[in-house]
Structure 1
Amino acid sequence: MNSNSAVAEAQVVISGAGPTGLMLAAELRLGGVDVVVVERRAAGTVGESRAPGINARSMEVFTQRGLGEEFLNRGKVLPGVLFSGIPMAPHALDPGWPSALILPQHETERILAARAVELGVRFLWSTAVVDLNQDDDGVEVFVEGPSGPAGIRAGYLVGCDGGHSTVRRICEVPFPGDEPESFWVVGDVRLDSPPDGNGVFGRNERIGTYQISRAEPGWFRLSLMRTTPPADRTAPVTLDELREVMRDGLGTDYGLGEARWMSRFSDGFRQITDYRQGRVFLAGDAGHIHSPIGGQGLNLGIQDAVNLGWKLAAVLNGAAPDSLLDTYHQERHPIAATVLQLTKAQTALIKPGAQTDALRGVVADMLAVPETCLRLSGILSGLNLRYPLGDTHPLLGRRMPDLALSTGQGRTGVFGLLRQARPVLINLGADGLTGIPAPWADRVDYVEARLEPFSSSWDLPVFGEVPACNAVFVRPDGYVAWVNPAGAPVAHDTLTTTLGRWLGAAGTAVLGRT
């Protein structure tokens, strides 16, 4: 990791080196932005499974940035999607459904931190943000580290510092939501006599649904509800508490010997009212907290980062207007609100009781209906996300699939064109489209390609059959912002309007090149 050298200024300061902060830092560096990550820990997460679920959309994002293979090599592919532990199998209905993954969070952070260092991100470890002042031109970020207090002048600050965000507290951002009603303990533990050898996912009348699963060789991931609230919700979990909760809820502690990580969570749900506070932004758990049932937290954070990163880079490079940054809240806040509602439903279904058991049976039957399975799997996997970018074509506002293309340089997939986090205009045979209009020529990659097979309609993975197009503009985050229907003349006016909206109408800055 980078050493803690003195930092006086940066274009962007990120508070927090978890998955969200690391992903954002890498995205900013791909955009040519000078970024410093401030992290209160002495190093990244070590030996903690924490948030191990990586959904299908996050895997697509990692693949777009050239990291997908490394994640696949280290993780375990999930056979389906779980709704409160009830399995759904979208792969059986759509063979093109992308895979999700189980990987301990410390491994995710290791991959993302290595990429950030490779790209030149600067880190200040054992350093905490303690205060900030912002004005029309930037933010003064006050930090406390091994060398004492210091200030960093930045253009923007992004709080990626978790559910107890210091940045959120300093900015006094309203954080409305629901107080917790139930409480769980979770940990990575060693068990002398694990259930069924490899663990168990079970349910009983005292604590509802519980999980003991093999996380890594020698370690089990434990998650179960307390029958009574903890005396002190802020106190660290101890081995004695784990043993007590296991014996109370399961009748045994399975020979619990040690733990490398222990924590607690609740079913409290909150979301900030605005992701932007002037020149300060909040991302990941700093902007929304919820029960981890369904594994949505890490994935929301990764996708917050990818949405915000290229927009900050475009503005800082002098091309796009500051108003572009408002679209971060406009696009991401509704997505998290939807996910929080689904997570509430999943959390309710894991609780104990005969009525809940009956409801789970009804829900399981409903999830077996193909349309319901695909709809909920699409939301939980992030694949059905649609930003409000227009309704003239089904692809607008949706993720661009990784279609196989033939180009003058050979075969490639769409995701391979997004490796450098630059926007791309793909010409799939449109007459009259010969390149990028002059004001944006240095900010957009242009690719002439052929899609095989090509017909009057496309049968696309996850989407199904949609009207064909002969050209498509894809934002750096992989979402489609402009489509030209097959057989139609190129709509140059809507193309230039789209380019101006997302990249600015004039200027010579180059997004993604330093």
Structure 2
Amino acid sequence: MQPPDPVLYPNPVLYDVIVAGAGPVGLFLACELRLAGCSVLVLEKAQDPHSPLKRLPFGLRGLSVPTIESFDRRDLLNDLKLRAASRDMPAAAHWMQQRRRPGGHFAGIPFFHDQIDGTQWPYRLPGQIGSIATDMASIEAVLAIRAAALGVEIRRGCGVETLAQSGDGVTVAAGGGRVRGRWLVGCDGGRSLVRKAASIGFTGTDAEFTGYSAQVELADPAALTAGRHYTASGMYTYAAPGTIAMVDFDGGMAHRSEPQRDQIETVLRKISGLDVTVTRLLLATTWTDRACQATDYRAGRVLLAGDAAHIHSPLGGQGLNLGLGDAMNLGWKLAATVRGDAPAGLLDTYSAERRQVGAQILDWSRAQVGLMRPSRSSRALEAIIRDLINTRDGATYFAERVWGISLRHDLGDPHPLAGRSVPDFALVDGTRPSELLRTGRGLLLDFDARPSLQALARGWSGRISYVAADARDRLGLTALLVRPDGMVGWVSEGTPDLEEAARAAVRWFGEPA
């Protein structure tokens, strides 16, 4: 789209929410807000959304269970699968070329589907998929199409320059003009201007290495062995004929400069210990293991999501999933706040819930870095982890963490399902909770069709959908209250306590009408 028309600006147009950044997180959040009826403007600094780094092989991403569920709950999953099916995923990832079906890895140490014991997850129904491989270009394309269909306004080549808060909104200078929103959400990456302008702290640990991803032509492609390799100097991964990822423990010194052919060759020789010749550099980028998190995800009417709120190494592909989880958690809460029907403190639960999840992912990333250091102690520790991950319990634990199955928000409810994703029950009427959540409203699922629960739900008509249907396997439950993001906010295993159900509804959806 064209930059904003300066004619609009001495009197800025007022939007409910301005989103800075049109990456996957910003687009997903914009879709969530529009689904809930908010007016949304997305400002994106880059004029062209396309980049070779978003396509295979560098754009390869594994989607976690929470991300897959979020896409399913908004009817986006099939579109994403169709795009993924048109890509050559096995050729883009060496780990997909193995005889056993890989489930993921920890610092390059793989675990496999045939090792995983799903019975250890009592609230996961059998047969639900663990992960999906796709690329960034496909994800952004699917979300951009949905955003346009919902009426999200996207202005490219129009990044946030400055911002000023007041008691009732935020004024943003962008593209030579001004716009105003009741709220501003920074989804503008690890160097977020929004975060800096809002004076939100960003603390954590410094980089230990420079990571390289490169597409090259080699004088002798057979000189390198395919797969991931730890060496005395670092780690490298090779997929013939010329896709290379390397980690050089240099303190992150090389990250800021654009990598050149001779630099890639020098580092590759150092890490591999082989006399390899790079004849041509086709594409390269660098990254580090710097791990930082915003001290708060909100400052007044400014909020953060995605890399603007947290950065870490791309080891294990957790960053994108973490950011999309932020968007799913924030969207309905911010929309309820805009509408004026949010209970007191609802928006504060966004930072409380997601900062905890983010901190866990940053530590997960740091643990992998510790295992990758080129030292005898790290190699000794690697051998132990490799033995553990090769056991059934070990593989199940790592799958639970890598796939996001362990995700649980602390809601103060002792029931083990509270704060977790709602199981995707096969209801006897042929529907699933994922389909019932596509309206963006909450869900009161009543397996026993009790008139008392139906009457209670009427108080939140328009905010909660009441569904009375049994399930083929209800996992010993009688009723659940599910938030719009698919997280369980109240659970009943016997005769439902109507007072508890009402308190939970007020907590998440405000006072009844």
**TM-score (norm. length: structure 2):** 0.87
Q: Which of 489, 492, 496 is 2:498 aligned to?
A: 492
- Provide the rounded CA distance (Å) in 2 between the counterparts of 1:231 and 1:376: 31
Q: Give the superposition deviation at 1:252.
A: 5.1
Please tell me whether residue 259 in structure 1 is matched to residue 282 in structure 2. Answer: yes
Q: Which of 38, 47, 51 is 1:42 aligned to?
A: 47
Equivalent residues of 1:194, 1:255 under 8 A apart: no
- Provide the rounded CA distance (Å) in 2 between the counterparts of 1:15 and 1:42: 14
Q: Choose 161-170 or 381-390, whichever is displaced more.
A: 381-390
**Counterpart AA for 1:121:** V
Equivalent residues of 1:14, 1:160 under 8 A apart: yes
Identity %: 34
Q: Give the superposition deviation at 1:9.
A: 2.3
- Provide the rounded CA distance (Å) in 2 between the counterparts of 1:368 and 1:10: 53
**Counterpart AA for 2:165:** Q
**Counterpart of 1:445?**
465
Please tell me whether residue 480 in structure 1 is matched to residue 488 in structure 2. Answer: yes
- Provide the rounded CA distance (Å) in 1 between the counterparts of 2:221 and 2:347: 50
**Structure 1 residues 52-451: aligned runs within 5 Å:** 52-75=61-84, 76=89, 79-89=102-112, 92-94=116-118, 96=127, 98-143=129-174, 145=175, 149-189=176-216, 194-195=221-222, 199-207=226-234, 209-213=235-239, 221-226=243-248, 228=250, 233-250=255-272, 251=274, 255=278, 257-260=280-283, 262-321=284-343, 323-407=345-429, 411-431=430-450, 432-451=452-471
- Provide the rounded CA distance (Å) in 1 between the counterparts of 2:289 and 2:179: 37
**Counterpart AA for 1:38:** L
- Provide the rounded CA distance (Å) in 2 between the counterparts of 1:330 and 1:281: 13
Alignment deviations for residues 150-207 of structure 1 (CA, whole Å, 9 cap, x no partner): 1111011011111111111111211111121222222345667545999422222222
Cα distance change on mapping 1:191 and 1:436 into 2, 3 Å: farther
- Provide the rounded CA distance (Å) in 2 between the counterparts of 1:112 and 1:505: 33
- Provide the rounded CA distance (Å) in 2 between the counterparts of 1:195 and 1:449: 60
- Provide the rounded CA distance (Å) in 2 between the counterparts of 1:191 and 1:133: 52
- Provide the rounded CA distance (Å) in 1 between the counterparts of 2:233 and 2:51: 33
RMSD of aligned C-alpha atoms?
2.4
- Provide the rounded CA distance (Å) in 2 between the counterparts of 1:247 and 1:197: 11
- Provide the rounded CA distance (Å) in 1 between the counterparts of 2:277 and 2:142: 33
Alignment deviations for residues 280-305 of structure 1 (CA, whole Å, 9 cap, x no partner): 00111111111111211111000000
Alignment deviations for residues 6-41 of structure 1 (CA, whole Å, 9 cap, x no partner): 462211111111111111111111111111111110
SS in 2 for 1:440: coil
Equivalent residues of 2:210, 2:254 under 8 A apart: no
SS in 1 for 2:454: coil
SS in 2 for 1:181: coil
Task: Return the structure number with greater helix share.
Answer: 2
SS in 2 for 1:494: helix
Q: Give the superposition deviation at 1:230.
A: 6.6
Alignment deviations for residues 334-388 of structure 1 (CA, whole Å, 9 cap, x no partner): 1111111111011121232333222111011122343343333222221111112
SS in 1 for 2:428: strand
Q: Give the superposition deviation at 1:99.
A: 2.5
**Counterpart of 1:511?**
none
**Counterpart of 1:462?**
none
Q: Which of 495, 505, 511 is 1:505 aligned to?
A: 511
Equivalent residues of 1:192, 1:257 under 8 A apart: no
User: Which structure 1 residue ranges, 5 or more long, are not aligned?
Assistant: 459-467, 508-514
Q: Give the superposition deviation at 1:56.
A: 2.3
- Provide the rounded CA distance (Å) in 2 between the counterparts of 1:195 and 1:430: 65
Equivalent residues of 2:457, 2:465 under 8 A apart: no
- Provide the rounded CA distance (Å) in 2 between the counterparts of 1:307 and 1:270: 20
User: Which structure 2 residue ranges, 5 or more long, are not aligned?
Assistant: 90-95, 119-125
Equivalent residues of 1:51, 1:297 under 8 A apart: no
**Counterpart AA for 1:339:** I
SS in 1 for 2:360: helix
Q: Give the superposition deviation at 1:5.
A: 4.5
**Counterpart AA for 1:335:** V
Cα distance change on mapping 1:392 and 1:249 into 2, 3 Å: closer
- Provide the rounded CA distance (Å) in 2 between the counterparts of 1:123 and 1:93: 44
- Provide the rounded CA distance (Å) in 2 between the counterparts of 1:345 and 1:227: 15
Q: Give the superposition deviation at 1:235.
A: 2.0
Cα distance change on mapping 1:113 and 1:194 into 2, 3 Å: farther
Cα distance change on mapping 1:71 and 1:222 into 2, 3 Å: farther
Equivalent residues of 1:389, 1:397 under 8 A apart: yes
Q: Choose 224-233 or 320-329, whichever is displaced more.
A: 224-233
Equivalent residues of 1:425, 1:472 under 8 A apart: yes
**Counterpart AA for 1:477:** D
Q: Give the superposition deviation at 1:54.
A: 1.8
Cα distance change on mapping 1:436 and 1:199 into 2, 3 Å: farther
- Provide the rounded CA distance (Å) in 2 between the counterparts of 1:192 and 1:436: 72
- Provide the rounded CA distance (Å) in 1 between the counterparts of 2:236 and 2:356: 30
